[in-house]
Amino acid sequence: MNSWWNLVGVIAWLIVLVVLILVIKNIRSRRIKMIVQDKKTFEWRNLLISIVEIVVFLVLLALMVYTTFFRNITKTNNRNVVTTTQVEPLIIQSDEHGSYYVKVDGNRGPIQQYSFWLKNVKYQLPSTNAQVVTTRGNAEVTGRSYKLNHKNIKLNDQHFQNAWAKVVTLTYKGNFWNGLGMHAGKDANQFILIRVPNKTFVQRNK
């Protein structure tokens, strides 16, 4: 039902469209009246009114474009997002180079690409949305931002033999502002903490 809030955004865009039509119609009407009735081709007052109308429209348009396409939501903004977490065991893979849990592409670049399997589904994520950890200490440091404490990590290590992934999904709440940007009920972001027993289970493509 959260998606119903997106009707707020649809209505807002329709209002912006109506304002555009009214501005064009009003400018044209005043222009014709100025030429036909007043026998003039230019008036400062008419120009200023047109400028004000155009500025008002551009402000409305800019607000809607920002709200719809450029509004950033962080993982700590609990007013606008719901955070859900799920822990799944990693599925080991093998090829001619050996067995691995995670395959890393773009080893020399600033952003790496991680490939791994959870529940028979292959995930491919950039390093901006995932992180590989090989020790419990590193998992604790990374996991603090996602409410993953020492006890959780220890239990996961015991249960999944140090090979698991915590999927953190941020979903836009159903509220006015998210509906205005037509984001309500949609995923805002996803981060996956990938825990492997040690570095030998990470295959790096050169």
DSSP 199: G
- How far apart are the C-alpha atoms of 92 and 78, rounded to whole Å? 35
Provide DSSP, 57-123. Answer: HHHHHHHHHIIIII----TT-TTTEEEEEEEEEBPPEEETTEEESEEEE-TTSSS-EEEEEETTEEE
Tokens of residue 90, six digits: 């990693």
Q: What is the DSSP letter of 4?
A: G
Q: What is the pLDDT of residue 97?
A: 79
Please list the pLDDT of the chain residue by residue as tens digits (206 residues): 678 999 999 999 999 999 999 999 999 999 998 888 888 888 899 999 999 999 999 999 999 999 998 877 665 567 788 888 899 999 999 888 789 999 998 766 678 899 999 988 999 999 888 989 988 777 777 767 666 677 788 899 999 999 999 998 889 999 998 999 999 988 888 889 999 999 999 998 76
In this predicted structure, what is the pLDDT of residue 170?
A: 86
Q: What is the pLDDT of residue 138?
A: 78
pTM over 0.85: no
CA dihedral 97, 99, 101, 104 (to 10 degrees): -10
> What is the reported pLDDT for 189?
83
- Angle of helix 6-36 relative to helix 44-65, nearest 10 degrees? 170
Confidence (pLDDT) at 190: 86
What is the reported pLDDT for 40? 83
